[in-house]
Chains A and B, each alone.
Chain A
Amino acid sequence: MEQILAITQLGGLALAIGLIVTLVKKSGYDTAATIISIIGTITMLIIAAEYIKEFFEVIQTMLVF
């Protein structure tokens, strides 16, 4: 359940940031759009980092004897 919530959260965030970037780009503020997309990516990476770490730990337990 927790993982489904995390995936939905990441998807929703990506959708919202994507729409903001499109809106800002259409208005002619290209630099601001780049900054927003970078901030969005970093935020999403921070959220996903914990799950990626968990994923690697699972792989490690499978491979290391």
Chain B
Amino acid sequence: MKMIGLMMIFAGCASCGCLLVTQYKKRLAEIFALIDAFEQIKGDIDYRLTPLPEACIHVSKGCKADIGHLFQNFGEMLENKTSMDIESSWQQVLRREKYRYHLTKSDYDILETFGEMRSYNDKLMQKKELEWLIDKLRSVSEELQKEEEKTQKLYTGIGILGGACICILLI
């Protein structure tokens, strides 16, 4: 009975480590999906002269990693005019959809700048603001990619070895 308990503790700790690795990978995938989405929005505004609400709804259909919900809701909110300005709508959507994603506070801080894009800005200004946002997200993704292997090893190792430590202490 004692051995089964110890094995369960060990398996629990090891799976916690694996869970952290999965979350890290999902965060990276979500950031890539966000970069893709913002690139598409930029293209829609730049070449097709699509208004922001329509561009968001259009982009949401082709998004990966569940990011589509974010743009779908934001686009619908802007079209239905449920909020007075873009900033509060975007923040509302981010708060509502936060549970779906694995992004950290620093990622949300970068994302919030998208809401600061003024509706009265011309095409060029909107494009510049989107480019700035994409650059920021790209630098985050590069940093995450650089540390991916190291972090994966760390989380898995700490999970397994931490579990082993607890088991040894309980024997």
A residues near B (Cβ < 8 Å) are: 5, 9, 12-13, 16-17, 19-20, 23-24, 26-28, 43
Contact = CB atoms under 8 A, between A and B. Distances in A.
B81 interface: no
B164 A23 contact: no
Interface of B: 150-151, 153-154, 157-158, 161-162, 164-165, 168-169, 171
B168 A27 contact: no
A9 B168 CA distance: 6
A9 B171 contact: yes
Is the contact region of chain B dominated by helix, strand, or loop, or is it mixed? helix
Contact of A13 (B150, B153, B165): B165
A17 B165 contact: yes
A43 B158 contact: no
A23 B154 contact: yes
B89 to A, nearest CB: 39
Contacts of A20: 157-158, 161-162, 165
A12 B162 contact: no
A48 to B, nearest CB: 13
Q: Which 10 A-B residue pairs are closest in the complex by CB-CB distance?
A: A23-B157, A27-B154, A16-B165, A12-B168, A16-B164, A20-B161, A16-B161, A13-B168, A19-B161, A27-B150
Contacts of A5: 171
Given A16-B168, A23-B158, A28-B150, 5 more contacts: A13-B168, A13-B169, A20-B165, A23-B157, A26-B154
